[in-house]
Structure formats: C-alpha cells, structure tokens
Amino acid sequence: MAGKTDMMVGFSCKRGGQYSCETVLVPLSDVANAEKTVPDEWINAEGNNVTKGFIDYALPLIAGEPERITENGLPRFSRLKKTTISK
C-alpha cells in the first residue's frame, strides 16, 4: 500500500474446488457509504435463520482454528509500551 491513498484492503475469493483468497486494494469511492446485504435466498422462510446456501458460502471464511501464540493455555496478547508525549 506504500504511496496509495483513498484505498481499502479487501478480499478477492475464488470458489469451487480449492478455496483461495487474496487481498486486493479497493477504491474507497466504491465502498464508502454503501452496504452489502445478505441475499433473501440465504434467509430461511421463517426469517429467523440462514439456509445451507449461506453456510456453504460462509464456512470457508470462518472454518479452522486461528494461529496464535499461547502462554499456559491462554492467548498471549501484545503488551504496549506506555510512552509519555509532551504537549
């Protein structure tokens, strides 16, 4: 992103067969003040759950375990160094 402005990092995913995803730069003008809703066909008839189509779409995005460093079985979080800045 060095030297780039007015851009957002997005994901470009390839489906079918082996799932793969790569990061891409997207112009902010394409995404600012916009929303992407869940298609109606992914909501069940009762309106209180999702369909198998949604699960098939979402599962590759959320499946698996995140890689993280642990200490004594707990996630290790970054410790920030407190620095006083003069005004």
Domain boundaries, the chain: 1-32, 37-63
Higher pLDDT, 86 or 2: 86
* CA separation for the pair 52, 60 (Å, rounded): 13
Looking at residue 86, the DSSP 8-state letter turns out to be: -
Tokens of 32: 């600012």
Q: Which phi and psi (to 5°) does residue 79 adopt?
A: -110, 120
* Whole-number pLDDT of residue 42: 97
Share of the chain above pLDDT 90, in %: 46
- Cα–Cα distances in angstroms (integers) from residue 7 to residues 23, 25, 49, 75, in the given order: 12, 6, 34, 32
Tens digit of pLDDT for each residue in 50-87? 999 999 988 888 888 878 899 999 989 988 899 998 88
Is-above-0.85 flag for pTM?
no
* Whole-number pLDDT of residue 1: 65
